[in-house]
């Protein structure tokens, strides 16, 4: 069973990006784009199925002393176990309906296709791993003959009410250097770090999570598969746009008005009939909210 507390992913990434108060790099410096030796890429997808979010209950602080606090913690733990179990029960039909969707292969090919659009990127070797640990990434960088390593880490989840499917792509670029590979992989050594998110809301969503999951799962998961395909395409389009942009264009991303759309927060970058693009500079996150029509 794989369960994610709601918003856990975004909070984790924001914490990693801001670790040590190091601002994430929005652009890859011009003098670092065309490099001798080119770049290797590792695509990481640690999960094997769509993750279900749930709202986390926390133990109340304050009154009651040690005994009261212990009781509160036990109650919260029991509530979270119940919510996790309910989330798992709701999402099971969806997981079954998309079990034949090879997300690993689709993510790998989407990454390859996107990076091929960037003339200066000079992709040398593309690999895939279920292991996204620092040791694995350091080993990959150490064994690489390229000058830089791009790490593309994917994830995908469904909201606690099963109304929205989200895809995430975290990208960082690291350079080989005199330091040990495990030191080069540190977040403050990244030459570039951004996150790209795609969110699609279920057309005709209801208030009941189990009914929404059933709608995503209908017709062999047609709606969910369409969201996966569109999401993989969009996050990689945003990656290409981000890598190709100038420093001035990057600065302009955070100039829009702060807005909230379908529970997503950020500065408004642009909007169209296809959807809306938001940017959160502190979390180095691009979020595209799709306005897609139902499949079929």
Distances (CA, A) of 142 to 31, 44, 108: 23, 17, 22
Q: Average pLDDT in the 138-165 region?
A: 95
pLDDT tens across 166-191, in order? 999 999 999 988 788 888 898 889 99
Nearest to 35 by CA among 169, 175, 172: 175
* The pLDDT of residue 143 is above 90: yes
Q: Classify 69 in phi/psi space as left (phi over 0), alpha (psi -120 to 50) or beta.
A: alpha
* Overall pTM surpassing 0.85 (yes/no): no
> 4 pLDDT band (50/70/90 cuts)?
very low
Q: Residue 131 pairs with which residues in a beta bridge?
A: none
**Phi, psi (rounded to 5 degrees) for 35:** -125, 145
Which residues of the chain form beta strands (DSSP E)?
Answer: 3-5, 39-44, 51-54, 123-129, 148-158, 164-175, 192-201, 258-261, 264-271, 275-280, 285-290
The encoded tokens of residue 240 equal 């290409």
Q: Average pLDDT in the 88-116 region?
A: 95
For 20, which DSSP code?
G
pLDDT tens across 8-37, in order? 444 444 444 444 445 678 888 888 888 999
**Phi, psi (rounded to 5 degrees) for 242:** -65, -45
Residue 242 · residue 286 · CB < 8 Å = yes
User: What are the domain boundaries of the chain?
Assistant: 3-246
pLDDT tens across 38-61, in order? 999 999 999 999 988 744 444 454
Q: Residue 43 pairs with which residues in a beta bridge?
A: 128, 152
pLDDT tens across 197-249, in order? 999 999 999 999 999 999 999 999 999 999 999 999 999 999 999 999 988 88
> 296 pLDDT band (50/70/90 cuts)?
low
């Amino acid at each position: 069973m794989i369960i994610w507390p709601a918003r856990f992913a975004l909070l984790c990434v924001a914490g990693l990006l801001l670790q040590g108060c190091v601002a994430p790099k929005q652009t890859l410096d011009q003098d670092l784009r065309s490099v001798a030796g080119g770049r290797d890429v590792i695509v990481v997808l640690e999960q094997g199925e769509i993750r279900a979010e749930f709202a986390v209950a926390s133990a109340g602080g304050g009154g009651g002393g040690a005994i009261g606090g212990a009781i509160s913690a036990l109650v919260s733990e029991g509530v979270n176990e119940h919510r996790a179990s309910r989330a798992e029960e709701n999402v099971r039909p969806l997981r079954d309906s998309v079990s034949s969707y090879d997300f690993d292969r689709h993510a790998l090919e989407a990454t390859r296709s996107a990076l091929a659009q960037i003339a200066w990127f000079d992709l040398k070797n593309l690999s895939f791993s279920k292991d996204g640990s620092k040791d694995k990434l350091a080993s990959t960088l150490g064994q690489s003959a390229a000058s830089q390593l791009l790490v593309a880490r994917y994830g995908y989840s469904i909201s606690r009410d099963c109304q929205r499917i989200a895809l995430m792509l975290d990208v960082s670029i690291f350079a080989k250097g005199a330091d040990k590979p495990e030191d080069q992989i540190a977040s403050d050594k990244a030459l570039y770090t951004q996150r790209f998110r795609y969110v699609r809301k279920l057309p005709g969503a209801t208030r009941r999570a189990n009914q929404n999951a059933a709608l995503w799962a209908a017709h062999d998961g047609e709606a969910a598969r369409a969201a996966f395909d569109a999401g993989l395409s969009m996050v990689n389009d945003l990656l290409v746009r981000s890598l190709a942009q100038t420093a001035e264009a990057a600065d302009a991303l955070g100039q829009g008005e702060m807005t909230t759309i379908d529970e997503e927060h950020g500065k408004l970058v642009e909007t169209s009939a296809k959807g809306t693009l938001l940017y959160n500079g502190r979390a180095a996150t691009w979020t595209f909210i799709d306005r897609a029509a139902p499949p079929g």
